[in-house]
Structure 1
Amino acid sequence: MKKCCLFVIAFVLLVKLTGCSHMTVLRTQELREIQAKIDTLNNDMESMKKEIIAEHNKTSEMLRLLRADQQVRFNELDRKIVTIETNLLESQSRLSNIDRKTAEFTRKLEEKLSAEAEAERAREQEIENLFKLSKRDFDAGRYDIALPGFKDIIKQYPDSHLVSEAEYWIAEIYYAQRDYQKAEQAFMDLIRKYPDGERICVSLYKLGLVYERQEMFQSRDMVWENLIKQCPGSQEAQVVENQIEGE
């Protein structure tokens, strides 16, 4: 009986030992699988780490290149700004010189124009004085003195506005001196040169008188007809119309 019990006990122990051994094998296999997974994860993490480092290095290189490119651009921009500032200073200097020269030119031009205007005023005053003296001599009947005075105005100051007046009074001198041929020519020149002048009406009337003094009545009538047509309502035309009615 005792042996039987020992056998049973031994059998039970054997079974238990067999079960433990089997469990140990299973645990060892699981541990190996876990370790393999851990190794795989470590490998994956190492690969990812390498990729991250590589990407970081690539990004760092790109940033370095971008910074370098930006620095080059900034340096170029600074150079251009310096060039622009230099050109601007030069332009301002040139403008200052131009302004100075322009101001100097303007001042000289104004002085010249002022001097020319003063000279022109003096010239006009001289012409007017000469004209007044000649007219005064004419009014006093000093035709021989008045004539050269009017001629001097025409010769020395051909662009003066008093030239036409001088020519008219020369014609009047010839008429007053009864030099009808010269008077005729002088009045005809006036009519031809100044058809719209202030003296056109009186010149036509005096030319008719010149013809009348020479008893050239047909020429007189032609001139006076032209006077009435060209200067209707004028004092000279009224005198001619009254004379025709009286005849």
Structure 2
Amino acid sequence: MIRIAAFVLFSAFVLMAGGCALPPSHSSQSDLQTDLSRLKRQYTAITDELISLQNTVEDLDQQLQGYDARLEAVEQRQLTGQTQMGTSSGQITDKTPRIDPLERTASAGRAPSSATEIYLRAFSDYTSGRYDKAIAGFENFLEYYPDNEYAANAEFWIGECYYSQQKFTEAATRFVGLAQNYPQSARAPNALLKAAQAYHELGHTDQAREIVDFLREQYPDSAAAKTQLEF
């Protein structure tokens, strides 16, 4: 966004400069100095605008990082506070149901100007308990910015929204889809854990245990893998 803004503002400056070409020979020296002074003022204004745009983007990025850090801390406290369960070895087998990610609903209207803006708005809806709006916002984010570095996070929060609404089938769909589509994401271990919990809520205890076993094999050093559960 900064590069685009810089190009536009620089182009505007060049056009203004072109419109103030050197005056004819009969123009006075004072007229030339006046034109140059005006161009300097315009250039200063453009530079100030660029700095303002850059500061805005940096502030939004810092807010985004702060929100994620706070929620990850909450997740870790939740994980460490859960009770112990017996362990069993194994892995996800062909008998374990694979749930494909839900088809994303196309959103009406034009694409938002900023990935950070739409992500933060959806995240704010999630933290305020407006789960339907949060789901729509994160789906919109994924539609327009599928390759963004926060795409896996958006999938995770959609799963959390469904889980909070006790829509455990939809929640399991998103969490399993995240682990399959973003196996290298830092969210993948917690997504598998949440998928197991969703299956448990649905009464599918065998599938829940298989996912936990798979989690511990694939991500043995993660906090999610070390969580003890009662199922």
Partner of 1:184: 172
The CA deviation at 1:151 is 0.9
1:115 alignment partner in structure 2: 7
Give the AA of the match of 1:188.
V
Task: Tell me, in whole angstroms, the C-alpha distance in 1 between the residues paired with 2:209 and 2:4.
Answer: 55
Which structure exhibits the higher relative contact order, with contacts defined as CA atoms closer than 8 Å and separated by 6 or more residues?
Answer: 2
- In structure 2, the gaps of 5 or more residues are 9-49, 58-110
Q: Distance in 2 between matches of 1:230 and 1:151?
A: 28
Q: How does 1:23-42 map to 2 (within 5 A)?
A: none
What is the SS of the residue equivalent to 1:235? coil
Name the residue aligned to 1:72: none
Max radius of gyration: which structure?
1
Give the match for residue 172 of structure 1. 160
Q: Does 1:128 align with 2:20?
A: no
Summarize deviations over 1:131-160 as a string: whole Å, max 9, x none.
112111101111122111111111122232
TM-score in terms of structure 2 length: 0.50
Q: CA RMSD in A?
A: 3.0
Is the counterpart of residue 153 in structure 1 residue 45 in structure 2?
A: no
Is the Cα contact below 8 Å between 2:169 and 2:202 reproduced in 1?
no
What's the offset of the Cα at 1:200?
0.9
Q: Give the aligned partner of residue 209 of structure 1.
A: 197
Equivalent residue, structure 2, for 1:71: none
> 1:112 and 1:214 mapped to 2: Cα distance?
49
Deviation, structure 1 residue 114: 5.2
180, 188, 195: which is aligned to 2:183? 195
CA-to-partner distance for each residue in 1:39-83, whole Å, 9 max, x for gaps?
xxxxxxxxxxxxxxxxxxxxxxxxxxxxxxxxxxxxxxxxxxxxx
| Identity in percent | 25
How many pairs are equivalent? 132
| TM-score (structure 1 length as normaliser) | 0.47
Q: Look up the equivalent residue of 1:115 and give its one-letter code.
A: F
Match of 2:127 among 105, 122, 139: 139
Secondary structure of the residue aligned to 1:236 is coil
The whole-number CA distance in structure 2 between the counterparts of 1:176 and 1:133 is: 18
Q: 2 CA distance for matches of 1:157 and 1:234?
A: 28
1:162 Cα deviation from its structure 2 partner? 2.0
Whole-angstrom distance in 2 between the partners of 1:161 and 1:213: 31
What letter is aligned with 1:182?
A: E
1:237 match: secondary structure:
coil
In 2, the alpha carbon distance for the partners of 1:113 and 1:128 equals 16
1:126 to partner: Cα distance: 1.7
- Residue deviations 1:183-209, cap 9 Å, x none? 111111111101111111101100100
Any residues of structure 2 matched to 1:204-243 within 5 Å, and which?
Answer: 204-240=192-228, 243=229
Stretches of structure 1 that go unaligned for 5 or more consecutive residues are 1-110
1:165: Cα distance to partner?
1.4
Does the CA contact (< 8 Å) of 2:112 and 2:118 recur in 1?
A: no
